[in-house]
A = this chain, B = another copy of it.
Amino acid sequence: MIEKHLMALRARDSVSADEEAAIRGTLGEVVQIRADKTVIEPGTLLDRSTLLLEGMMGRFKDLSQGQRQITELHIAGDFIDLHSFTLKKLDHGIMTLTPCRVAYVPHVNLREITSEFPHLTRLFWLSTNIDAAIQREWTVSLGRRTAIQRAAHFFCEMEVRFGIVGLAEPTGYALQMTQAELGECLGLTSVHVNRVLKELRERGLMEFRGGRVRIQDREGLKRLCEFDPAYLHLEKIER
Protein backbone atom coordinates (compact mmCIF):
# COMPACT_ATOMS: atom_id res chain seq x y z
CA MET A 1 0.00 0.00 0.00
CA ILE A 2 2.74 2.45 0.85
CA GLU A 3 5.30 1.05 -1.61
CA LYS A 4 5.31 4.21 -3.70
CA HIS A 5 5.89 6.33 -0.63
CA LEU A 6 8.77 4.08 0.36
CA MET A 7 10.19 4.30 -3.15
CA ALA A 8 10.17 8.08 -2.89
CA LEU A 9 11.87 8.05 0.52
CA ARG A 10 14.41 5.45 -0.52
CA ALA A 11 15.35 7.47 -3.57
CA ARG A 12 16.86 9.91 -1.04
CA ASP A 13 18.03 7.88 1.94
CA SER A 14 17.79 4.41 3.40
CA VAL A 15 14.77 3.40 5.44
CA SER A 16 15.26 0.64 7.97
CA ALA A 17 12.79 -2.19 8.55
CA ASP A 18 11.91 -0.65 11.91
CA GLU A 19 11.22 2.69 10.31
CA GLU A 20 9.15 1.07 7.59
CA ALA A 21 7.11 -0.65 10.28
CA ALA A 22 6.75 2.65 12.12
CA ILE A 23 5.38 4.31 8.99
CA ARG A 24 2.87 1.51 8.51
CA GLY A 25 1.92 1.97 12.14
CA THR A 26 0.94 5.60 11.57
CA LEU A 27 -1.64 4.78 8.93
CA GLY A 28 -5.27 5.29 9.72
CA GLU A 29 -8.33 5.10 7.54
CA VAL A 30 -8.00 4.50 3.79
CA VAL A 31 -10.45 6.37 1.59
CA GLN A 32 -11.38 6.76 -2.06
CA ILE A 33 -12.08 10.30 -3.30
CA ARG A 34 -13.66 11.35 -6.57
CA ALA A 35 -11.98 13.65 -9.09
CA ASP A 36 -12.31 17.46 -8.97
CA LYS A 37 -13.10 17.67 -5.30
CA THR A 38 -11.74 20.20 -2.84
CA VAL A 39 -10.40 17.96 -0.13
CA ILE A 40 -9.13 20.60 2.26
CA GLU A 41 -10.44 24.14 2.47
CA PRO A 42 -7.83 26.78 3.33
CA GLY A 43 -7.62 27.58 7.01
CA THR A 44 -9.15 24.39 8.37
CA LEU A 45 -7.59 23.15 11.59
CA LEU A 46 -6.14 19.73 10.82
CA ASP A 47 -5.27 16.86 13.09
CA ARG A 48 -4.12 14.45 10.42
CA SER A 49 -2.06 14.37 7.25
CA THR A 50 -2.86 12.63 4.01
CA LEU A 51 -0.72 10.11 2.19
CA LEU A 52 -1.63 9.86 -1.46
CA LEU A 53 -1.70 6.23 -2.57
CA GLU A 54 -3.13 6.63 -6.04
CA GLY A 55 -4.10 9.53 -8.25
CA MET A 56 -3.12 13.17 -8.45
CA MET A 57 -3.85 16.11 -6.18
CA GLY A 58 -2.94 19.78 -6.20
CA ARG A 59 -2.36 22.58 -3.77
CA PHE A 60 -4.07 25.76 -4.86
CA LYS A 61 -4.79 29.32 -3.89
CA ASP A 62 -7.75 31.25 -5.20
CA LEU A 63 -7.89 34.99 -5.73
CA SER A 64 -10.99 37.05 -6.17
CA GLN A 65 -12.40 37.05 -9.71
CA GLY A 66 -12.03 33.32 -9.96
CA GLN A 67 -8.32 33.29 -10.57
CA ARG A 68 -6.63 30.16 -9.32
CA GLN A 69 -2.99 29.24 -9.00
CA ILE A 70 -2.03 25.63 -8.44
CA THR A 71 1.20 25.90 -6.49
CA GLU A 72 2.20 22.28 -6.50
CA LEU A 73 1.06 18.94 -7.87
CA HIS A 74 1.21 15.71 -5.94
CA ILE A 75 1.34 12.18 -7.24
CA ALA A 76 1.10 8.72 -5.74
CA GLY A 77 3.57 8.26 -2.91
CA ASP A 78 3.51 11.92 -1.85
CA PHE A 79 2.54 13.05 1.60
CA ILE A 80 0.38 15.85 0.30
CA ASP A 81 0.03 17.84 3.50
CA LEU A 82 2.72 16.59 5.80
CA HIS A 83 3.47 20.25 6.48
CA SER A 84 0.10 20.49 8.21
CA PHE A 85 1.68 18.45 11.02
CA THR A 86 3.62 21.55 12.09
CA LEU A 87 1.46 24.29 10.55
CA LYS A 88 -1.85 22.86 11.81
CA LYS A 89 -3.74 25.14 9.45
CA LEU A 90 -2.97 25.20 5.77
CA ASP A 91 -2.79 28.54 4.01
CA HIS A 92 -4.00 26.94 0.78
CA GLY A 93 -6.56 24.45 -0.43
CA ILE A 94 -6.07 20.92 -1.64
CA MET A 95 -8.06 19.32 -4.42
CA THR A 96 -8.09 16.13 -6.41
CA LEU A 97 -7.40 16.22 -10.13
CA THR A 98 -8.19 12.55 -10.68
CA PRO A 99 -9.97 9.95 -8.56
CA CYS A 100 -7.64 9.33 -5.61
CA ARG A 101 -7.00 6.75 -2.95
CA VAL A 102 -5.50 8.14 0.24
CA ALA A 103 -4.51 7.00 3.71
CA TYR A 104 -4.99 9.38 6.61
CA VAL A 105 -2.21 9.69 9.15
CA PRO A 106 -3.24 11.18 12.51
CA HIS A 107 -0.87 13.85 13.81
CA VAL A 108 -0.68 12.11 17.17
CA ASN A 109 1.00 9.20 15.42
CA LEU A 110 3.45 11.53 13.74
CA ARG A 111 4.18 13.13 17.06
CA GLU A 112 5.23 9.76 18.43
CA ILE A 113 7.54 9.34 15.49
CA THR A 114 9.25 12.62 16.31
CA SER A 115 9.99 11.47 19.83
CA GLU A 116 10.99 7.91 19.02
CA PHE A 117 12.48 7.93 15.52
CA PRO A 118 14.81 10.91 15.03
CA HIS A 119 16.15 9.68 11.72
CA LEU A 120 12.71 9.01 10.33
CA THR A 121 11.68 12.44 11.57
CA ARG A 122 14.50 13.96 9.57
CA LEU A 123 13.30 11.98 6.56
CA PHE A 124 9.78 13.34 6.89
CA TRP A 125 11.20 16.81 7.39
CA LEU A 126 13.28 16.24 4.27
CA SER A 127 10.20 15.36 2.32
CA THR A 128 8.54 18.69 3.17
CA ASN A 129 11.80 20.38 2.17
CA ILE A 130 11.75 18.65 -1.19
CA ASP A 131 8.21 19.90 -1.68
CA ALA A 132 9.59 23.36 -1.00
CA ALA A 133 12.39 22.81 -3.51
CA ILE A 134 9.85 21.90 -6.17
CA GLN A 135 7.86 24.97 -5.29
CA ARG A 136 11.01 27.06 -5.61
CA GLU A 137 11.59 25.75 -9.09
CA TRP A 138 8.02 26.63 -10.02
CA THR A 139 8.66 30.13 -8.72
CA VAL A 140 11.64 30.37 -11.05
CA SER A 141 9.54 29.14 -13.94
CA LEU A 142 6.82 31.67 -13.32
CA GLY A 143 9.27 34.47 -12.76
CA ARG A 144 11.76 33.95 -15.55
CA ARG A 145 10.82 31.30 -18.08
CA THR A 146 8.70 31.84 -21.17
CA ALA A 147 5.44 29.96 -21.56
CA ILE A 148 6.93 27.21 -23.68
CA GLN A 149 9.91 26.76 -21.38
CA ARG A 150 7.61 26.66 -18.39
CA ALA A 151 5.52 23.93 -19.97
CA ALA A 152 8.58 21.95 -21.03
CA HIS A 153 10.05 22.22 -17.57
CA PHE A 154 6.83 21.04 -16.03
CA PHE A 155 6.67 17.96 -18.25
CA CYS A 156 10.33 17.14 -17.54
CA GLU A 157 9.75 17.43 -13.81
CA MET A 158 6.69 15.24 -13.87
CA GLU A 159 8.51 12.59 -15.87
CA VAL A 160 11.24 12.35 -13.25
CA ARG A 161 8.76 12.33 -10.39
CA PHE A 162 6.56 9.67 -11.96
CA GLY A 163 9.74 7.74 -12.70
CA ILE A 164 10.69 7.66 -9.03
CA VAL A 165 7.52 5.80 -8.15
CA GLY A 166 7.57 3.56 -11.21
CA LEU A 167 4.87 5.33 -13.19
CA ALA A 168 6.90 6.43 -16.22
CA GLU A 169 7.69 4.36 -19.27
CA PRO A 170 10.48 5.13 -21.74
CA THR A 171 8.04 6.72 -24.17
CA GLY A 172 6.13 8.88 -21.72
CA TYR A 173 3.65 8.77 -18.90
CA ALA A 174 0.01 9.15 -17.98
CA LEU A 175 -1.00 12.65 -16.89
CA GLN A 176 -4.71 13.02 -16.29
CA MET A 177 -5.32 16.74 -16.37
CA THR A 178 -6.96 19.30 -18.61
CA GLN A 179 -5.25 22.15 -20.42
CA ALA A 180 -7.07 24.58 -18.14
CA GLU A 181 -5.57 22.88 -15.08
CA LEU A 182 -2.18 22.95 -16.73
CA GLY A 183 -2.69 26.68 -17.15
CA GLU A 184 -3.42 27.00 -13.45
CA CYS A 185 -0.08 25.38 -12.73
CA LEU A 186 1.88 27.38 -15.28
CA GLY A 187 0.28 30.76 -14.69
CA LEU A 188 -1.17 30.82 -18.20
CA THR A 189 -4.60 30.90 -19.78
CA SER A 190 -5.91 27.66 -21.19
CA VAL A 191 -5.90 29.30 -24.60
CA HIS A 192 -2.21 29.95 -24.44
CA VAL A 193 -1.49 26.52 -23.00
CA ASN A 194 -3.12 25.12 -26.08
CA ARG A 195 -0.89 27.16 -28.37
CA VAL A 196 2.19 26.17 -26.42
CA LEU A 197 1.32 22.48 -26.65
CA LYS A 198 0.87 22.88 -30.37
CA GLU A 199 4.29 24.46 -30.62
CA LEU A 200 5.89 21.63 -28.63
CA ARG A 201 4.21 19.15 -30.96
CA GLU A 202 5.26 20.98 -34.11
CA ARG A 203 8.84 21.21 -32.91
CA GLY A 204 8.80 17.42 -32.55
CA LEU A 205 9.60 17.55 -28.86
CA MET A 206 6.56 16.01 -27.21
CA GLU A 207 2.82 15.47 -27.32
CA PHE A 208 0.19 15.83 -24.65
CA ARG A 209 -3.08 14.23 -25.69
CA GLY A 210 -5.75 12.11 -24.11
CA GLY A 211 -4.22 12.27 -20.66
CA ARG A 212 -0.83 11.04 -21.81
CA VAL A 213 2.53 12.66 -22.33
CA ARG A 214 4.53 11.17 -25.19
CA ILE A 215 8.10 12.38 -25.25
CA GLN A 216 9.69 12.37 -28.66
CA ASP A 217 12.91 14.30 -28.17
CA ARG A 218 13.89 14.20 -24.52
CA GLU A 219 17.21 15.98 -25.00
CA GLY A 220 15.66 18.72 -27.06
CA LEU A 221 12.96 19.20 -24.47
CA LYS A 222 15.50 19.50 -21.66
CA ARG A 223 17.62 21.88 -23.69
CA LEU A 224 14.65 24.13 -24.34
CA CYS A 225 14.00 24.68 -20.63
CA GLU A 226 17.47 24.05 -19.19
CA PHE A 227 16.09 21.24 -17.08
CA ASP A 228 18.38 20.20 -14.23
CA PRO A 229 16.82 17.64 -11.86
CA ALA A 230 19.22 18.52 -9.02
CA TYR A 231 16.36 20.25 -7.18
CA LEU A 232 14.58 16.93 -6.82
CA HIS A 233 17.45 15.76 -4.63
CA LEU A 234 17.71 12.24 -6.01
CA GLU A 235 20.81 11.29 -4.17
CA LYS A 236 21.23 9.01 -1.26
CA ILE A 237 22.79 11.04 1.54
CA GLU A 238 22.74 9.99 5.16
CA ARG A 239 20.46 12.43 7.01
Contacts and interface: CB of A to CB of B under 8 A. Distances in A.
Interface of A: 42-43, 59, 61, 63-64, 67-69, 71-72, 83, 85-89, 91-92, 111, 114-115, 118, 121-123, 125-126, 128-133, 135-140, 142-145, 186-187, 226, 230-231, 233, 235, 237, 239
The copy count of this chain in the complex is 2
A127 B67 CA distance: 29
Contact of A226 (B64, B122, B233): B64
Contacts of A230: 42-43, 89, 91
A139 B239 contact: no
A118 B143 CA distance: 37
Contacts of A139: 69, 71, 135, 138-139, 142
A233 B69 contact: no
A144 B70 CA distance: 10
A10 to B, nearest CB: 15
Contact of A132 (B114, B126, B131, B187): B131
Most chain B CB neighbours (cut-off 10 Å) among A144, A186, A239: A144
Contacts of A63: 140, 144-145, 226
B135 A233 contact: no
A-B pairs, top 4 by smallest CB distance, nearest first, are A143-B187, A142-B142, A91-B231, A86-B126
A129 B186 CA distance: 23
B67 A144 contact: yes
27 contacts: A43-B230, A59-B136, A64-B226, A71-B139, A83-B129, A85-B122, A86-B122, A86-B123, A86-B126, A91-B136, A91-B137, A91-B230, A91-B233, A111-B118, A111-B122, A114-B121, A114-B122, A118-B121, A121-B121, A125-B125, A128-B132, A131-B132, A135-B135, A135-B136, A135-B139, A139-B139, A144-B187
